[in-house]
Every structure is written in C-alpha cells, then in structure tokens.
Amino acid sequence: MKITVIGSGYVGTTTALVLAKLGHEVIGYDVDDQKVMKLNSGILPFSEPGLGQLLQEQLNRGSITFTSDGKAAVENSEILMISVGTPSTPSGAADLTYLRQVLDTITKHINGPKIVVTKSTVPIGTNRWIKLELLQKIDTSQYPVEVVSNPEFLREGAALYDSLQPSRMVIGGEDEQAVEKVRQLYTSLYSPFIKCNYETAEMIKYASNGFLAAKISFINEIARLADLAGADIKQVAAGMGMDPRISPHHLFAGIGYGGSCFPKDVDELIYYAEEQGMKLQLLKEVKRINDSQIEWFVQKIESHMPLHGRTVVVMGVTFKEDTDDQRESPGIKLIDYLLGKGVAKVRIVDPTVESPEQIYRTKGLKHWDSQKVAIFSEKSDAAAGAHAVVLAAPWPQFEEIDWKRWAKQAESAYLFDGRNFLDPQKMRSLGWVYVGIARGDRL
C-alpha cells in the first residue's frame, strides 16, 4: 500500500521504515528540510539502535523517500499517518498545534479518497474532532475521508524491536473498511489486534502510560521505605516481579521517570479528568512522587557529604540509556538541583554529548549555568579531583569505565548510583563509598 507518514521524529521515522520493510511504498514527510535532507542521504537525525541500518537498506531498495513538500506527501498516498509531536502546555493539556497544521496540509492538498491514521498520542476525543474537522473542510462527496486511531507503544532505545514485535496493535474507528485496511498494513507482524472505538483506543494509550508511570512511582515510594528499613529494593522488586500478576517490568527504583511521554501523558490524563469534573487522585500522587524523587535522592547524598562548592561528576543526561533524547531528562534536572545546592562544577559524562551546547529541551530549569558545566568522556580522568560521582542513566558503557583509576584520582570517592546499576560489592572493592537507592545498607 502507499503510505505517507507525517512527521519524521522518533516514532514517525521508525514507523515509516518498518512499514517500508513490511513491503509498503512509503513517503516520510516532515516540515524540517534539514531532517529530510539527512534522511534522504541515509543519515538518521537522532540515535536509535538498528534504525540507521534499516534506513540505508530501505533507501537502497527504493521503498522509501522523504520529502518536505506537503502537496506531494498528501497527493501520492491514500493512507496518511500522523506522527507529529503533541507536547505539554503549562496547564498540562497536550499542545495540538502541530496536529492542526497537519490537518491544514491535508485539507489544502487532498486529491482523492484518504484514510487519516493518528499515531501521535492525542487527548481523548481528538480523533472524533479530527473527523469532524475534515468533514467540515473537505467536500467528501468528491474526496471521501475516514479517520482511524492507531496509537503507538514503542519505547525509545528499543523502537525497532517494539515495532517489529508489538505487544498489541490497537485500531480505533467507526468505519469497518478503513479499520480493516489499517489492520492489513501490519498483517505480516505477529501481533494481537484490538478493534475498538476512538475513545477506547485513545484511553488505552493514556492508561497504559499512566499505569507504567504508577509502577515506577510505587516502587520509588517503597524504595524510600526500604531505605529506612534496611531492605534491598532490587531484591524486593525482583521478588515482587516473579508474580506474573505484577511482572518485573517498570519496577526499577531510581531517580524517577522522564522522557517525552510519561510526564506529558500523566499531565494530559489528569487535565482531561478535571475537564470531565473528576480528580485522578492516584495519578496526581504518581506525579508528586516522581517530581520529588530527585530531591529525596539529593538529600540522601547530603547525608553523606556537603555539596556546596564541590565538584560532582554526573553520568548520563539522556532520559534513559540507548537514546540521544534529553526531553524531561532526570539527569539534567538532577544537575540543575545540584547547582541550586551550590555545587561549584558539574562534569557530565554521556556517550551522546560532546559540548554543553548539546544539552537541550528539559523544561523549567532554575539554576542552569553553562559556565559551571563541562563535558568529559568515559575514557578521560573525569573524576580527578572530584568529590562525588552520581549516576543518572544506566548506559552499558559505564560498566567499562576504569573505576579503580577514577577512585584513586577522586578527591573523595563517593559513588551515588541513582539507577542501582553498578554492583555495590565490586565498586566498594575498587575503592568507592557506594550508595545506591535502598540497597539494604542503613545509613
């Protein structure tokens, strides 16, 4: 089938390439000329394991092209799949500016029957609103249009794996033929399908992210208690996760969840409920726990050493490992918090960052000062003369660091592991005072 994927970001590029791999003829459309130019020359504009190679393969096969020409993008495909960003506004509501722009492009250039598929995460009620908008603006006797909701569940860092082995495929719509056509796009994937109405599809997406966020805040709150009790939260989570009704996934305690989705989707769901006259108490608490997790961790650091005037190495400024995405990054928020506590110098070690100018996107920073922040590589002497190392994202590369040398070079060898990633025994044997999140050692 001929498909145009609108928006060539993390989701759009992955989806476009996977659809091309499945045998469809795909156009990737984005308003960002630079991005389009890079993609057409086989360069991925962001980092995602395995995706660069798939891009080269599909370009060579001629199954995909990228364009910034809205007219060609709309005219040349029957299926128009929207995957533009839907970031948060200060009220918590999702910002639909990009989505509105896409609808303008579609209505301006429509030239035949189209199925508009919404892959972006959109507030409950949006697909029905999109359909009304299109019906009002398009002469549907000439150009019939249907709208289908098809939310995405991939994780960054595992986008290709998740897209090729989806846990489920949710397809929401009102027109059986259009829903079936979208289902057929994916028939060569082994996946359960859920066909439902728009609101159900939209709510499955928000409730899934809300629930995963709740698991993380639950284990983080239990970690605070485990810390007081002298229990090891890693073993507690492992023991809980062996019960298939609980599952071990998203049960890792740390400095909280970040990224472009959990924070914004929790906010939107709370906002939507309030619009309906309802308070989502549980999700409000999930958010509150997450928002205070860094503060809790920094207090733990301060119970070991003063921070004022100190030099601290922070490992990991992406919102998690295996991605270059820094949106709502817990590592960046942690640095901001440390600077607010009077830390004199922060040395950042992150495989995706080479200069302070590459730190971006995290909102609401209060104390950021580029003069106090420097970038070091994993192979450098980042800990030389430093007073502490704090791990914020569990990059596998961090295990390979010469920790013994770093401990010797540090002014004081404190290692605060905000992701319970490194082995406490091993780190202690290499000369560190290792402090994780509730690892069973009472203060």
Catalytic residues: 261
CA dist 441 and 230 (Å) reads 6
Residues 248-277 that bind ligand NAD (CB under 6 A): 260-261
Instruction: Quote the least distance from Cβ 408 to ligand NAD, whole Å.
Output: 40
* Distance (Å, whole) CA 73 – CA 69: 6
Residue 172 binding target from ligand UGA, ligand NAD, none, CB below 5 to 8 Å by type: none
User: What does 401 bind: ligand UGA, ligand NAD, none (CB cut-off 5 to 8 Å by kind)?
Assistant: none
Partner from ligand NAD, ligand UGA, none binding residue 86, C-beta < 5-8 Å depending on class: ligand NAD
Q: Is residue 158 at the binding interface for ligand NAD, with CB under 6 A as the rule?
A: no
Query: Where does this chain touch ligand NAD (CB under 6 A) — which range of 24-32, 242-250, 293-301, 386-394?
Result: 24-32
Per CB under 6 A, does 156 bind ligand NAD? yes
Judged by CB under 6 A, the residue of 40, 75, 98, 368 near ligand NAD is 98
Residues in the chain: 443
> CA nearest 406: which of 421, 391, 396?
391
Judged by beta carbon distances under 5 to 8 A according to partner kind, the member of ligand NAD, ligand UGA, none in contact with residue 120 is ligand NAD
203 binds, among ligand NAD, ligand UGA, none (CB under 5 to 8 A by kind): none
DSSP state of 402: -
Contacts of 289 (CB under 8 A, 6+ apart): 217, 220, 221, 256
Per DSSP (E only), the strands in 30-184 are 64-67, 79-82, 114-118, 145-149, 169-173
Which uninterrupted H or E stretch holds 423?
Answer: none
**Residue 413 binds which entry of ligand NAD, ligand UGA, none, with Cβ cut-offs from 5 to 8 Å by kind?**
none
- One-letter amino acid identity for 370? S
- Choose between 8 and 326: whose C-beta lies nearer to ligand NAD: 8
Three-class SS string for 338-397? HHHCCCCEEEEECCCCCCHHHCCCCCCCCCCCHHHEEEECCCCCCCCCCCEEEECCCCHH
In whole angstroms, the minimum distance from the beta carbon of 399 to ligand NAD comes to: 25
Task: In angstroms, give the least distance from the CB of 330 to ligand UGA.
Answer: 6
Residue from 3, 4, 5, 8 touching ligand NAD (CB under 6 A): that is: 8
What are 149's strand-pairing partners?
118, 172
Asked if 202 touches ligand NAD (CB under 6 A), the answer is no
What does the binding site for ligand UGA look like in residue numbers (CB under 6 A)? 121, 152-156, 209, 212, 216, 250-252, 254, 257-259, 261-262, 319-320, 330
Region of 83-91, 360-368, 379-387, 419-427 interacting with ligand NAD (CB under 6 A): 83-91
The piece of 81-89, 225-233, 266-274, 427-435 that touches ligand NAD (CB under 6 A) is: 81-89
Tell whether residue 84 is a contact of ligand NAD (CB under 6 A).
Answer: yes
Long-range contacts of 377-383 (CB under 8 A, 24+ apart): 377/349, 378/349, 378/351, 380/349, 381/405, 381/406, 381/409, 382/313, 382/347, 382/349, 382/406, 383/313, 383/407, 383/409, 383/410, 383/413
Shortest separation between residue 1's beta carbon and ligand NAD, angstroms:
20
Stretch that binds ligand NAD, among 84-92, 338-346, 369-377, 406-414 (CB under 6 A): 84-92
Q: Which stretch binds ligand NAD (CB under 6 A): 27-35, 132-140, 277-285, 372-380?
A: 27-35
Half-sphere CA count of 161, side-chain side, radius 13 A: 7
CA distance 359 to 354: 9
85 vs 316, beta carbon nearer ligand NAD: 85
Residue whose CB is less far from ligand UGA, 70 or 259: 259
Beta-carbon contacts of 427 under 8 Å, excluding residues fewer than 6 positions away, are 403, 415, 417, 434
Distance from C-alpha of 240 to C-alpha of 349, rounded to nearest angstrom: 33
Among 44, 51, 54, 154, interactor with ligand NAD by CB under 6 A: 154
- Torsion sign over Cα 146, 151, 189, 2: positive
x-or-dash string of contact with ligand NAD, 111-150, rule CB under 6 A: ---------xx-----------------------------
Classify residue 365 by burial, with Cβ atoms within 10 Å: 0-12, 13-18, 19+. middle
Using rule CB under 6 A, residue 7 touches ligand NAD = yes
Q: Which is nearer to ligand NAD, 260 or 329 (CB)?
A: 260
Question: Which residue do the tokens 């950042």 mark?
Answer: 348
Contact footprint for ligand NAD (CB under 6 A): 6-12, 29-32, 35, 83-86, 98, 101-102, 120-121, 152, 154, 156, 260-261
